[in-house]
Amino acid sequence: DAGVTQSPTHLIKTRGQQVTLRCSPKSGHDTVSWYQQALGQGPQFIFQYYEEEERQRGNFPDRFSGHQFPNYSSELNVNALLLGDSALYLCASSLEAERRETQYFGPGTRLLVL
């Protein structure tokens, strides 16, 4: 049973650039959530996708956008990168029918903005 996978594992960008991170959910899951984890902090909710639409959004600017594909995989896009966007970006998948149940996390993509 394949778990949540993310790519790439590491990424280095410069300020002002754009980045796309990718996530494949656990087999059978239909909902994908994205979190940002700054160094030494707990993960912060960015947004959640279900049925190819953004369903919930945390307190992040519009520079952060996403997409969900028909196969439930998802992308996180960040435009006009700032130094403060350096963080571990975590993807989590779950099943809509069990909304309050467990979210399963991928290993994350570590983004460094120089």
- Give the nearest distance from C-beta 83 to other proteins in angstroms: 21
The footprint of other proteins on residues 43-62 (CB under 8 A) is 43-45, 48, 56, 58
Residue 33 near other proteins by CB under 8 A? yes
- Give the nearest distance from C-beta 16 to other proteins in angstroms: 28
Residue 105 near other proteins by CB under 8 A? yes
CA distance 101 to 22: 23
Residue 24 near other proteins by CB under 8 A? no
CA distance 105 to 113: 23
SS3 content of the chain, % helix, strand, coil (to 5): 5, 50, 45
- Give the nearest distance from C-beta 42 to other proteins in angstroms: 4
The four Cα atoms 30, 41, 46, 112 give a dihedral, to 10 degrees, of: -100
